[in-house]
Amino acid sequence: MTDRRRVVVVTGGGGGIGAAIAESIARRGAFVVTVDPMVSVDGSERLPATDDTTAGRIVAAGGAARASNTSVTDEAAVRALFGDLAAEFGALDAVVNVAGISRPTGFAKGSREDWRNVLDVHLNGYRNVLGAALPLMASAGRGHILGVTSGSGWRAADAGAYGCAKRAVASLTWQLGRHAPPGVVVNAVSPIAATRMVAAALGGGVPAKGATTGGLSLGSMPAPEHLGPLGAHLVDGTFDACRGRVLFAGGSEVAVIDEPRLIEVVRRDDVPAPAALIEAATTIALAPAQAGQVSRGGSNARFGSIFDEAPADDLPAPLTRVCAVAADRADVAAAVSTALRARGVTCRTVESPAELGDADAVVVALAGGTRSNSGGWERILAEHDGIVDRIDLDAQWIRAAADLDRAVRVVTVTDANTAGGRSRAQAAAQLARAGRKATGDRVLPFAVSAESADVDAELVAHLVCSPAAADLAGAELVTGAGWFGLRSHPRPIGSISFGGPDVPAWFDDTLREVVAPQ
């Protein structure tokens, strides 16, 4: 490093948390570029110009800053801006991506336009920032990127497109953290503060003291300014206490949010009675683990001789009469339909959500993105091309199923054999978590992350038909080559309480131990 001034970009830096972080970074001596098109909370219209800007306040306080009205959704403009900054100042040292909008969407609610716009800003915007910043930082051998996710992306919240986008942001961060270029640190924060976006989500009102959502007390939310010092610290040139992590930031407290982890795995290959095994495994292992978010293993063996038993003739009567199967691979459609017909279910292959008709179950198994021949971070970004289109398509089927206005089971099987597929699968799981409560148990949504070449048709049939499978609605189910299982939901694994807003000197050392115990 030379003694030149660091250059840091803060998207969404025109107000709220972005402004607070930008001003804190400037107080550390960096040149700050606030990137914000200055639009309304829903992104539909530009706000009137004002003399009171974040960049103006920084300059008035003796710092160095400028403003840009570039939108994170404009990939070419973001690349041009970052490239110009690197050429002008010698490097792009850090980016904080706070940009976001709020539209009224939910599990089975919201127009397609609203879904698309929210996904585009929060998810494609983050990908555009990563795609523009990482090559510059890789070339320089250093840099920091801080994404912004949300508790609505890892708690069981009915946040629709916003929750899907923020879960995919977390997934992309977790994956990139393991493959970022040498010297480059990628993390994300999941902040909570009394911002205009929170107020808009509450109908424009002020959070009532004692009101809660997703386990948070709205009346106890910190002011955005309380998050500024932490955000600035996480992109400081010396910060390396964690990589590829999501940190909940509540002003005076930070918690590490762990990614989904396998907690139950059950052998599937070479089993004489797979349908009976899956039925038993749901009761013995999967449903208890889903309820407690922890394996019940570690004591007496639970499965006995079931892996060697002959096929059973006493599977429970199916709760489904007619199932619509939407699959763009003929072999998947055939396998799922065969397994369902063996249970007495009438199957129809459909190509459009408008064709659901009298179905009381829907299986959606659509192909994922293309594998990239690149390696490392470049592969991860390339395999996220088109992810917004695929999440949007999955959500269209969910909304169409909910519109049937009758009891219906929806099984979304995601091809998770690419980096983007894994993020899409996590978005599907996040959406499914809200389904039962959002529809008063009328819709039972299931999410399966298919991480091998084949789709486990017997597991899909079990979810469509079995009474016991209802306990797996909203679970993060997964299939691999020769096995099926369950992952935990994202959850806090350790917290640091320090009173805030200033970050204590011992913070990094304790954070290292939380993320990687000695």
State both tokens at 336: 């799922």
- Helix, strand or coil for residue 49? coil
Residue 352: count of CB within 10 angstroms of its CB:
10
Determine which one of 107, 162, 248, 484 is catalytic.
162
Is residue 162 part of the annotated active site? The answer reads yes
State both tokens at 247: 């940190």
Whose tokens are 């096929």? That residue is 311
Nearest alpha-carbon partner for 319 in 446, 461, 141:
461
Between CA 156 and CA 107 the distance in angstroms is 11
Task: For 326-337, give the secondary structure using H, E and C.
Answer: EECCHHHHHHHH
Is the distance from CB of 493 to CB of 247 less than 8 angstroms? no
Nearest alpha-carbon partner for 448 in 465, 470, 471, 473:
473
Distances (CA, A) of 362 to 156, 358, 400: 22, 11, 10
Length of the chain: 518
Q: H helices of 434-474, where?
A: 435-438, 457-465
Between CA 279 and CA 264 the distance in angstroms is 15
Dihedrals phi, psi of 394, to nearest 5 degrees: -55, -45
Nearest alpha-carbon partner for 336 in 436, 441, 473, 448:
448
Is the distance from CB of 427 to CB of 388 less than 8 angstroms? no
Is the distance from CB of 446 to CB of 469 less than 8 angstroms? yes
Q: How many CA atoms lie within 13 A of 484 on its CB side?
A: 29
Between CA 8 and CA 15 the distance in angstroms is 16
Nearest alpha-carbon partner for 394 in 373, 423, 418:
423
Between CA 55 and CA 26 the distance in angstroms is 9
Residues 6+ positions from 380 with CB-CB distance below 8 Å:
172, 175, 176, 179, 419
User: Which residues lie across from 324 on neighbouring strands?
Assistant: 348, 362
Catalytically annotated residues: 162
